[in-house]
A and B are shown apart, each in its own frame.
Chain A
């Protein structure tokens, strides 16, 4: 599916193309600096707690070629980071609004399709 570029974000001098919903047009563009720039663009700051969830999200995409909806995200976080962090409350605190959507955007994944 062709994705249109709505705007670009300048990261370390490189223009990074974003789709109309703010997700990366090319998933290969992702780097930690891009994640930081995307977060700053949202007015968020990434802490180590965010980074470990971003790593879980990227691993999920590697394994299943899809960004997880909330329920499987909670399950994946529980498997990787333990029972305590594998809860929707914890993830909502890290990524207010929608952890699945916001997390996928910061992790450089496409928008989760099973998440309305």
Chain B
């Protein structure tokens, strides 16, 4: 689990504050990866960092509309996704390739996303030295 104190150390060594990019590659259920990634995004945003999210691979399943909570009384990640706006996290990107591979389109997604082709994803990584991959 990444803590705020880790992030503080990161920003201490930098002179110019940089946006944090968080990459989400896991589906909502079956593991805690997605939830942990979203939690880090929310904590960073709560402390005034500018955070962008990139959904890649199975991470795009997090974006599907009309999801239900998980089994065994787990909370879903849907409300967390809806909450991003309240934390001013509005830089939301999705891999076009990942959507196409799963035969999904922008209409299937619960939030307005900016689709990126492979080249644009590479450029996004290049622009974000501070990237956390979940």
Chain A positions near chain B (C-beta within 8 angstroms): 60, 63-66, 68-72, 75-76, 113-116
How many angstroms from the CA of A70 to the CA of B87 in the assembled complex?
10
B residues near A115, Cβ cutoff 8 Å: 46
B residues near A75, Cβ cutoff 8 Å: 86, 88
Task: Assess whether B86 is in contact with A65, with CB atoms less than 8 Å apart.
Answer: no
A49 to chain B, nearest CB (A): 22
A-B contact pairs, 23 of them (CB 8 A): A60-B86, A63-B79, A63-B82, A63-B83, A64-B80, A64-B83, A65-B76, A65-B79, A65-B80, A66-B79, A66-B80, A69-B42, A69-B46, A71-B45, A71-B46, A71-B87, A71-B88, A72-B83, A72-B86, A72-B87, A75-B86, A75-B88, A113-B39
A70 to chain B, nearest CB (A): 7
Task: Assess whether A65 is in contact with B39, with CB atoms less than 8 Å apart.
Answer: no
Interface residues as binary, B86-122 with A (CB distance below 8 Å gives 1, 0 otherwise)? 1110000000000000000000000000000000000
Main secondary structure of the interface of B (DSSP, over half): helix
Number of A-B contacts (CB under 8 A): 41
Give the number of residues in B that approach A within 8 Å (Cβ atoms): 16
B residues near A65, Cβ cutoff 8 Å: 75-76, 79-80
B67 to chain A, nearest CB (A): 13
A residues near B48, Cβ cutoff 8 Å: 71
Task: Assess whether B82 is in contact with A114, with CB atoms less than 8 Å apart.
Answer: no
In chain B, what residue has the closest Cβ to A71?
A: B46
B15 to chain A, nearest CB (A): 24
A residues near B43, Cβ cutoff 8 Å: 114, 116
B51-96 residues with Cβ-Cβ distance < 8 A to A are 75-76, 79-80, 82-83, 86-88
